[in-house]
Amino acid sequence: MGLEERVGELLRARGLTLAVAESCTGGLLGHSLTNLPGSSDYFLGGVIAYSNRAKERLLGVRRETLESEGAVSELTAREMARGARRLFGSDLALATTGIAGPGGGTPEKPVGLVYVALAAPDKELCVRHIWQGDRLENKRRSAERALELLVEYLG
């Protein structure tokens, strides 16, 4: 069974709904979730908030967070996930933010750095990774890691 199928099975079994907020994955996470027939049973929708302005306006990420921590940070990822959960009224939400590459990295925040967050009623989780692939590989691995984080939580 693939990861998308496992996610769908777990969400259906628990009667839970999911929303996503994506930056660095650019819609790939939502695409993965909707590859299965019947995903509308649990997947409510998503936001691709690529710009800081979109993160603020659509997801409620605080300007102070973006200014002090940056768009690629644990706090931003957590606020994105909370915002998606609130926006869609979902039980759970996933968020991705990172630097897919090939440019845009700094010594403190290198290309391939990504944060994946999960917001749930009982807890929040956030993981940090630095991928070593090209842009498409970094996006793919980030979306896959988001699904893995959800499976770990629902486990």
Q: What is the pLDDT of residue 48?
A: 98
State mean pLDDT over 37-64.
Answer: 98
Query: Quick one: which of 54, 56, 7 has its CA closest to 34?
Result: 7
pLDDT attached to residue 21:
98
The per-residue pLDDT for 1 is 73
Q: What does the pLDDT read at residue 136?
A: 97
What range defines the domain where residue 17 resides?
A: 3-154
Residues in the chain: 155
How many domains, the chain? 1
Helix (H, G, I), strand (E, B) or coil at 133: coil
Domain of residue 53, CATH code:
3.90.950.20
Average pLDDT, the chain: 97
Report the predicted TM-score, pTM, of the whole model to 2 decimal places.
0.97
> For residue 50, how many other CB atoms are within 10 A of its CB?
15
